[in-house]
Structures are given as structure tokens and as C-alpha cells.
Structure 1
């Protein structure tokens, strides 16, 4: 545990690490041997060699964990991830923190500091700031979520993610601004590229138009993830999924408020450390001109045709 980087906004205890490793039947020796084998393979991939030289060592272990502790699955995910990042620059590349200063005026998006004890997931909270619903920008939201998510990869050690969206301050204009094509691209990159296990998407404080909103969101999600979308009518129902002890106080929990967490994350993402991570992340893409077996087959991860078939009534 001591060799893993830690961050106070992403608390990971020794017990959390133990549980995650036991879930995939991993120990330190197996992890070390597996990472060595993955690294040896990585360096021999001409189209990924520059990525390997740039990557932080801890990042490889996180991606190995997200690949269920499988060497072959990790190789597959690495190839997918760094190829897909290059194919989706609108979602995850060319980022700097100043890009999101305006977003922070209308949105709060923060990971909760403690893991959900029931399933070792990291919970991501979204709030629209009161009176700012008309400023909603789907692409900016997705880009910021990947900025935070890729920063998390250097410190986190979870078995999956849960996304909580508080709809209290939203208006019907949000429905008109949802873009299922952007959502689908983001979900594919998240689950097929990074290997994130999305354990749940939770809507709170549902407005009268929530059914319309849910219908559009489901168009941008594949079946398994769409089936994990929940609309909670009460906080008591919500607490059955996510433990009160890790939730912010405005949701009946014991943790710091989302506003306080947002301030801490803003300060964190302005640091030289974060700036360096973001700068390196912008370069983590495959060089397809050096791929040994020709052009990457897009059908490998199911993108072709999936964007063009969406309709929004």
C-alpha cells in the first residue's frame, strides 16, 4: 500500500486496497509479475511506445485492476484506450484547467472522498447551481468529468463508479440540451477504453419531466448500463444504494458539502502537480502510423453506425 500514491480528496485505506485485490484474487507478487509482463509487451508495441514512456507507473496498476486483474485483458484495454482517446479528441484531449473556469460557475461535479463501503465504488456527485440551468453544456460536462476521472486514476483504487445527478435546480431546458451522441461516445470510452464498471446512475429530486430526460439519456447508453439507471423519489430509497456515512450533509450524510468539495477540487486542479498530469494525459494516444497490423478496426469496440442511429424527439 505504501508504494501507491495517495490523495486526501480520494481517500483509499489499506483495507480498501485489500478488498479490491481480494475481489480479483490478487496479491502483491502476482500484481508485480503481471505489471512486468504488461510492461514488456507495452514497450514492444510501436504504436504505443511513446505512451508507455509517458505513463506514471501507478497508472498501469489502476488499469490492470480495472481489467479485472487479467494480463491479456489489460493489453486489450490499453490498445483500445489509447486508440480511442485519439479518435475522440472532443471528449478527452487538448485540455487545460482554465477551459473549465466558466463551467464551475454553473456546475458542481465532485468525487466523494470515501468509497461506498457496500461495493467499493467511487461516487461522483453532480449538481446544477441554482439559477444556472440554462448554461448547461453537455460537451463541457463530459470533458470535465474525464479531466477529473483521469486525474483520479493516479490515486484511486475502487471497483467501479456510481454517478449521482441532483436535478433539483434543473429546468426543461436541460432536456433540450442533452446530446445522446456525446453521451454514447463518453460511455464507450469510459467502459470499453478505461474499463470503468458503472454500477449505477442515480437521479435525485426528480422534476416533472424526468421521464423525458431518462428516455433521452437511455438512448446514449448501452443496455447493461441503461438498466442501472435509477430515479430515487426519496433519500431513504437512495440510502439503500449509497451509504449515508460517505454522503455530503445535504443528502443526509456525514461528509462535507458538495460546495466545499468543489472548492477543494478547484484548488487541486490548479496545482503544478495536476497541470503536469493533465499535460501528459493530452499526449496519451496511439501513433496509428506505427501500428504493425495496419489501421485499427473501429468495429473492435463497436462505434461505427452507433452514433448515426440515434434520434431525439
Structure 2
């Protein structure tokens, strides 16, 4: 694909496609198309893949997510398909408005921001406005995130992300007490290993001393390299040296629409008949493990077996 269709919510720069391809050394004419065709043929040859007719753009964004490595893109496809089979609890929601948004909007707003940073990074923003009733609220939050991720796989074209979370107005200790570390580990594995999300920075805005306990939790589930990219800011204004104000919502001292407006727009986008049909189709892309040539992948990557040390907060 040489031209990215204009999207309803996600904006790109005129040169984003070229710049992102240049970063992964696939900017020359025909190079990306050849890479897509190689990966497409490989997918068709996998006996354990239930679905094999992925859109070319979906395949291309997988290659972008692995910095142009076809071999890593193969592993990524295998991982995300396997995860949909082994962790179906994250992929069984089709009506975002009724099953997720009704509860989430009482406690939290989340959105992929419309504008890119000057580095062509996408920003994922969260603003806490209330209280999570229980740990199931986190599950709904993660499911909403996965819907946005699948939408982005089919509509966006970025190589890296920054994540920002405004925790100023929440009882942080209450939120921490309801965290399921195993669930966070599984979800982060889906995002980073399955969807190829490259995180350039994780930014928390909080003045609470409890933020150290939250960082400790994330250090248990993130790879050291990513954990080293976590930053705590006491005010939103400290973000402006990292992310341009025109990218950030007014809630973060920026000029973009409010988090509530953006969240509502995402709910609308993810509640269309088109997205509902798409998500049913793409979530069917699991695996038939009886047909897999080897069980090595499940043992090495799935992340389900094993024990996890839980953090106890007094």
C-alpha cells in the first residue's frame, strides 16, 4: 500500500508512510510489497493457523512493528494467533459500548490520541476520574485497549508509542490493591509480543508516594529495557518538553479535545457495525494446536504456565 486512506479518528503526517518505512529500511519502491508477499505466503503455509486471509495492510503493520524483520513478524503472527486461542478471555467482547464503556466511563477515560508526535509516535493516554469497583474493571480496561489495538492494526501506521497516565485525581493505593499482576503480564505480552508495540516511554503523572509501589509492580512484568523508560511527573506541564502541546488533550495542558470527548469518539468508532464485524472476523484468527508442527511455542512464549510473585501492599 502506497497511500494510507484518511481515517475518522487517527491522523498521520503526509510523509508518515515514507518516514516510518525509512526508519526500518524499507522505503525503496517495491521493498515493502515484496516483504508483505513473503509473509503472506508464509501465513498460507501454516497448518495450525485457523485464519489465513489477513488484509495486506494488516500484514504490513506487523512488519512495521518488527522493524522490518520478516522472521520476527512470523513469530509475532504466531504469537498473537496463539494468544487468541490460549487467552480467549481477552478477545470475547464484541459490543464495546454495552459491555465495556458503560462501566469504564464512571472511572476512567482512555484514548489513542489523534495527532502524532513530531517523531511520528502515537500517544496512548489514560485519565483516571473515579474508582474501579473491583479487579474486573481492569479486565474491561484491557479489553477496550485491545479493541483500539486491533483498530489501529487496520487503520494506523506508526512504529512506536508513548503511554501517558494522569493519576492525579485517584486514590492510587485503592487502584493498586485491585491489580492482578498475572493479568497485566498477559496483557503486556499480547501488546508487545503479539501486536509488536514498541514503547518509547511510559509517563505517570502523580504526586502520591504510592507511585513507587505502582512502579514496583510494573518492574515485575516489564522487560528491564522498557521498565527503564518509565517516568514520573508531578504535573502535566512536565510532559510538554517530551510531547508537543497540540498532541495532548486539554486535560494534560494541551490543545487537543478533552479526554472525555476523545473517549466518547473512540466508543463510537468501536461500536460501528463495521468494527463489530471486523473484530469478530479478526478474533477468529486463532490456532488449532493439534495441527501445530511443534509445541515449542506454547512452552516458550505463551506466558500461561509458571508462578508469579504477587506484590502485597500494606
- What's the TM-score, normalizing by structure 2? 0.91
Q: Output aligned runs, 1:56-71, within 5 Å.
A: 56-71=55-70
Q: Do the aligned residues in 2 keep the contact of 1:66 with 1:196 (CA within 8 Å)? A: yes
Q: CA deviation at 1:90?
A: 2.2
Shifted more, 59-68 versus 248-257: the winner is 248-257
* 1:178 and 2:196 aligned: no
Q: Do the aligned residues in 1 keep the contact of 2:164 with 2:204 (CA within 8 Å)? A: yes
Shifted more, 216-225 versus 17-26: the winner is 216-225
- CA deviation digits over 1:23-47, x for unaligned, max 9? 0111340111111111111111111
Q: Do the aligned residues in 2 keep the contact of 1:62 with 1:157 (CA within 8 Å)? A: yes
Q: CA deviation at 1:64?
A: 1.1
Q: Distance in 2 between matches of 1:216 and 1:47?
A: 35
Q: Output aligned runs, 1:1-313, within 5 Å.
A: 3-27=3-27, 28-48=29-49, 50-53=50-53, 55-97=54-96, 98-100=98-100, 101-117=102-118, 119-129=119-129, 131-134=130-133, 137-171=137-171, 172-291=173-292, 293-301=293-301, 303=303, 308-313=307-312
Q: Do the aligned residues in 1 keep the contact of 2:162 with 2:202 (CA within 8 Å)? A: yes
Shifted more, 57-66 versus 76-85: the winner is 76-85
Shifted more, 4-13 versus 188-197: the winner is 4-13
- CA deviation digits over 1:233-252, x for unaligned, max 9? 23342222212221112222
Q: Do the aligned residues in 2 keep the contact of 1:12 with 1:114 (CA within 8 Å)? A: yes
Q: Distance in 1 between matches of 2:107 and 2:289?
A: 38
Gaps of 5+ in 1: none
Q: CA deviation at 1:132?
A: 3.3
Gaps of 5+ in 2: none
Q: Distance in 1 between matches of 2:211 and 2:26?
A: 42
Q: 1:83 to 1:302 in 2, by over 3 A?
A: closer
Q: Distance in 1 between matches of 2:207 and 2:85?
A: 36
Equivalent pairs, count: 307
Q: CA deviation at 1:302?
A: 6.7
Q: Distance in 1 between matches of 2:86 and 2:94?
A: 15
Q: Distance in 1 between matches of 2:275 and 2:160?
A: 23
Q: CA deviation at 1:57?
A: 2.5
Q: Do the aligned residues in 1 keep the contact of 2:245 with 2:253 (CA within 8 Å)? A: yes
Q: Distance in 2 between matches of 1:179 and 1:135?
A: 10
Q: Distance in 1 between matches of 2:223 and 2:305?
A: 14
Q: 1:297 to 1:269 in 2, by over 3 A?
A: closer
